[in-house]
Amino acid sequence: MSQLSHLDELEAEAIYIIREVAAECEKPVMLYSIGKDSSVMLHLAMKAFYPEKPPFPFLHIDTTWKFKDMIKFRDDIAKKLGIEMLVYTNEEGVKKGINPFDHGAAYTDIMKTQALKQALNKYGFTAAFGGGRRDEEKSRAKERIFSFRNKAQAWDPKNQRPEMWKLYNTKINKGESIRVFPISNWTEKDIWQYIQREKIDIVPLYFAAKRPVVYRDGNIIMVDDDRFPLKEGEVPELKSVRFRTLGCYPLTGGIESTATTLDEIIDETLSSVSSERTSRVIDNEAQGSMERRKREGYF
Amino acid sequence: MKGLLKFITCGSVDDGKSTLIGHILYDAKLIYADQEKALELDSKVGSRSGDIDYSLLLDGLMAEREQGITIDVAYRYFTTDNRSFIVADTPGHEEYTRNMAVGASFADLAVILIDASQGVLVQTRRHARICKLMGIRHFVFAVNKMDLVKYSKSRFDEIVKQIEELKNELLLDDIYIIPLSATEGDNVTVKSENIPWYNGVPLLQYLETVDVDSSEEEEGFYLPVQRVCRPDHTFRGFQGQIESGSISVGDEIVTLPSNEKAHVKQILMTDKDVKTAFKGQPVTITLDKEVDVSRGCVITKDTNLASYQELTASILWMDDEQLTAGKDYLVKLGTKTISGIVSEIKYAVDVNTGEHIPADSLTKNGIAVCTILLAEPIAVDLFSKHKTLGELILIDRVSNMTSACGVVDSVEEKADDAKKASFVLGSLEARGDIFEEFFYDTSSLNVLKYQPVKETYTKGDTIPVEGESYKYPDSFDIIVLRDSVAVKVRDRKITDIVPTSEYSYGGVPVVNGRGFEVLADSNEKIQQFLSEYSNLKSINDADFFAKWVKFDTYRKIAIQNR
């Protein structure tokens, strides 16, 4: 009798969850952020339904401030796999010129949280897969795999539905929805090891390369296009950097690194002394900020 | 390196569960530097005492920090040189018992904390009982706060006695008892010098070495079907996770509840063709012939699994709204979601003493044994025999709340009938669903049906054409599509049983396998009906049935109170 490895078990759990949603939920969608966790999710979805294609579309919330490499990667992978990729941008926010430099927390709210809510409403999705992991942040560690959202798409952390064994309750009333996190139990190390084992394509930004960067408030920020307002005397330097998480380029801190292969990345990750979300500028704002955003409808 | 260990910490309020786990993570340098920084900062801002408050590592919700308690289960992931762990830290307050049960359903081992100055409390007993109910077999009792009782051996011995009593009462098989102090770090990750009289190992060492794989293998192979994969008309695969045993190409399987036999044609382990697949693997299986299988059915091999309509379960009530006998819920069991009535609460269980108490309702956090009547027979077994087919939740039909979870203790033995065919001639067999009674249940306000005791009929036998909810003509034909068999009845007597391929219209009314009139009055239409059926993508196609059959020609819905 063969014994499943740790990664096999995580894969089986995620596939079970993805199939349950496809079988029971009326109109599912998979959120696709182009990052490594999303790449793993997409890969799992392709495996879960083979020889069928995933019976749901993918949705990318484009804030218009993503790294250029991310957008190219998104379009290439959708074409290669033949999946339906929806892209949604909060045009209202674009018109008002909302940007990460001048609007801080409001930017995240308008271009991410509100955009996501608008997109889910527009298409009438009843269940949305997300790539959240419980090891990322303390309020995520408390969230169920099937996380219920009320009509205002808000999370009520004090009153979560019990979730027993593999018996996921997918019942909702009209207007309500569920966020589903199939890789809840994966750690960052699991993600990298799975990417390596399965040879999953990821955005090149995860690998070290010489990139133009500036140093701000302890973060290394890449100057990805000429919309980046340089401060007086600030000159982008070419440094060998890579990114542990990917988001909007002005809000994503890189790390100095020479890791250009998956092996080197895994080595760096294992010996790393800071958890990955520290390089996300928004997470460090205030204690409980993630929970607050989730209550308001952030993924 | 040992395999992954999933465990929970539980026990009463303020027994120090979060502090214990926080301390393990901290001591073993298992927290990232920035979390450590956040922890120290947090402690200065809002801790209950002055020192580092390890529980802040886990109590991640704002309400938890404000109230200084754990509300919901937190999952933490860590790896030592010897093992990987997932720990679910669960709340101690009675109010949040259901969240503790969520953690218990996921774990292989429970660390139950006991405050040395308090001893075994009602909440300790409640948690131990729920862990046992949810199937946990391995227990560590961590007698915490030994520093507060001056590391007294005699105090520890008193508590050991209380634990032994609990062990005997709940029939716990594997227990280990450790005296420790989570705040002081005694016997947490290193052996304590303050407790020289303790000869065992510290907690972390025990968790690194304990063997939880010893649980016996379940009988045979079973796969609850999650979905049918149908990319085109040439491929029909059943997708799901193998819950026990193994399956190979060419094996003969039995489907439940339809009880059909077929052979495995192909096995896909996700996207790869394999010859054999094992327990735990997500697979897609194709068979060598068409069978009546959809989501919620179970594919089995070498098991005694069968279908049942009535079962007895031990349940934990988790809803603010109380359970009342006679109410109808959605029951989710395996991959099947089905209507069911909690027909009787046999007794409630006192969480403290284990005493059986007569009850006709059950409130939040209560445990009871009840009988559940399902709308139709489904594959189900005892929790102790085939775990996945013995776990269930009850969902409230209005609020959609997961109202209860439970495990199956026994099943009603009338099920063997379900296997018996009603019409038999030589090798031809057909089911007799035309004798099912449809009724409106006045206590659950639902339309349900049941199958009276089954008889087997063959050529020459007289059949009952009238029941409580049906009245067929004296002469008619029955086409049982799922078995591809037609039965001819003249003057209430069976005159012939033939394969549908040899059937032609005989000028008498025709009903389908469930006794619904088939809207066909010529041989041409009958052949069209049969050919459309054989080309259906799903045998549950509502459009097909809406077009071809009529319920109320020979049937009606009776009114009953079961």
Does any CB of chain A come closer than 8 Å to the CB of residue B499? no
Is some CB atom of chain A closer than 8 A to the CB atom of B414? no
Please classify residue B450 by burial: count the beta carbons closer than 10 Å to its beta carbon, then call 0-12 exposed, 13-18 middle and 19+ buried: middle
Q: Does B86 touch chain A (CB under 8 A)?
A: yes
Q: Per-residue pLDDT tens for B79-130?
A: 888 888 888 888 777 778 888 899 999 999 999 999 999 999 988 998 999 9
Which of A15, A157, A275 lies nearest to residue B270, judging by beta carbons? Answer: A15
Structure tokens at A95: 């018109």
Cβ–Cβ < 8 Å for A94, A123: no
pLDDT of residue B26: 74
Peptide bond into B509 cis (omega under 30): no
Determine the pLDDT at residue B444: 63
Over residues B490-502, the pLDDT tens digits come to 999 999 999 998 9
Q: What is the mean pLDDT of residues B65-74?
A: 67
Q: A231 vs chain B: nearest CA distance in angstroms?
A: 28
Characterize the bridge pairing of strands B84-89 and A253-256: unpaired
Task: Match 């801080």 to its residue by tokens.
Answer: A104
d(CA B510, CA B516): 8
More confident site: A283 or B179? B179
DSSP state of B82: S
Q: Please tell me the distance from the alpha carbon of residue A88 to that of residue A67, in angstroms, as a whole number.
A: 16
Number of other CB atoms surrounding residue B80 within 10 Å? 17
Of B451, B302, B469, B468, nearest to B377 by C-alpha is B451
- Closest CA–CA distance from residue B390 to any residue of chain A (Å): 11
> What span, in angstroms and rounded, lies between the C-alpha atoms of A19 and A257?
38
Of B57, B73, B282, the CB nearest to A12: B282
Looking at residue B4, its pLDDT comes to 82
Beta carbons within 8 Å of B523's beta carbon, 6+ residues apart: B504, B505
Closest residue in A to B394 (Cα–Cα): A169
Cβ proximity of B497 and B459 under 8 Å: yes
Bigger pLDDT: B190 vs A290: B190
pLDDT tens string B226-271? 999 999 888 999 999 999 999 999 999 999 998 999 999 999 999 9
pLDDT tens-digit series, residues B375-414 = 999 999 999 899 999 999 999 998 999 999 999 999 976 5
Count of pairs with CB atoms under 8 A, one residue in A, one in B = 169
Is B280 within 8 Å of A12 when comparing Cβ atoms?
yes
Chain-centroid distance of CA B142 in Å reads 30
- Within an 8 Å CB–CB cutoff, is residue B32 touching chain A? yes
> What's the confidence (pLDDT) of residue B52?
57
Torsion of CA B392, B397, B401, B405, to 10 degrees: -20
| 8 Å CB contact of B60 and A278 | no
Q: Answer whether B401 touches A (CB < 8 Å).
A: yes
Of A4, A19, A167, the CB nearest to B226: A19
- The reply to whether residue B60 touches residue A138, judged by beta carbons under 8 angstroms, is yes
pLDDT of res. A296: 62
Fill in the amino acid letter for A172.
Answer: I
Say if residues A21 and A180 touch (Cβ distance below 8 Å).
Answer: yes
Residue pair B459/B477 in contact (Cβ under 8 Å)? The answer is: no
Classified as helix, coil or strand, B47 is coil
Partner A, chain B 36-55, Cβ-Cβ below 8 Å = 38, 42, 45
Contact B134 A164 (CB under 8 A): yes
B183: pLDDT confidence band, cut at 50, 70 and 90? confident
Distance, CA of A251 to CA of A267 (rounded, Å)? 25
Q: How far is CA B41 from the centre of its chain?
A: 43
Residue B562's pLDDT is what?
55
Q: Which residues on chain A are in Cβ contact (under 8 Å) with B77?
A: 134-135, 185, 187
Q: Which of B2, B5, B32, B247 should be substituted to probe chain A, the one whose Cβ sees the most A Cβ atoms within 10 Å?
A: B32
Residue B326, strand partner residues? none
Task: Give the DSSP letter of residue A160.
Answer: P
Q: Answer whether residue B32 shows pLDDT above 60.
A: no
pLDDT at B58: 57
Averaged over B406-430, what is the pLDDT? 76
Q: Which residues of B228-238 are buried (b: 16+ CB within 10 A; e: fewer)?
A: bbeeeeeebbb
Residues 307-326 on B with a CB inside 8 Å of A are: 318
Helix (H) or strand (E) run with residue A216 in it:
strand A209-216
What are the pLDDT tens digits along chain A (299 aa)? 456 888 999 999 999 999 999 999 999 999 999 999 999 999 999 999 999 999 999 999 999 999 999 999 999 999 999 999 999 999 999 999 888 888 878 888 899 889 998 999 899 999 999 998 988 766 778 889 999 988 877 888 777 889 999 999 999 988 889 999 999 999 888 899 999 999 999 999 999 999 999 998 888 999 998 888 888 888 899 999 999 889 899 888 999 999 999 989 888 876 665 555 454 554 444 445 666 666 666 66
The minimal CB distance from B102 to the residues A16, A163, A185 is found for A163
What separation, in Å, do the N-terminal and C-terminal C-alpha atoms of chain B show? 56
Helix ranges (DSSP H) in B289-432: 416-419
Give the pLDDT of residue B43: 52
Measured between beta carbons, which residues in chain A are less than 8 angstroms from residue B237? 51
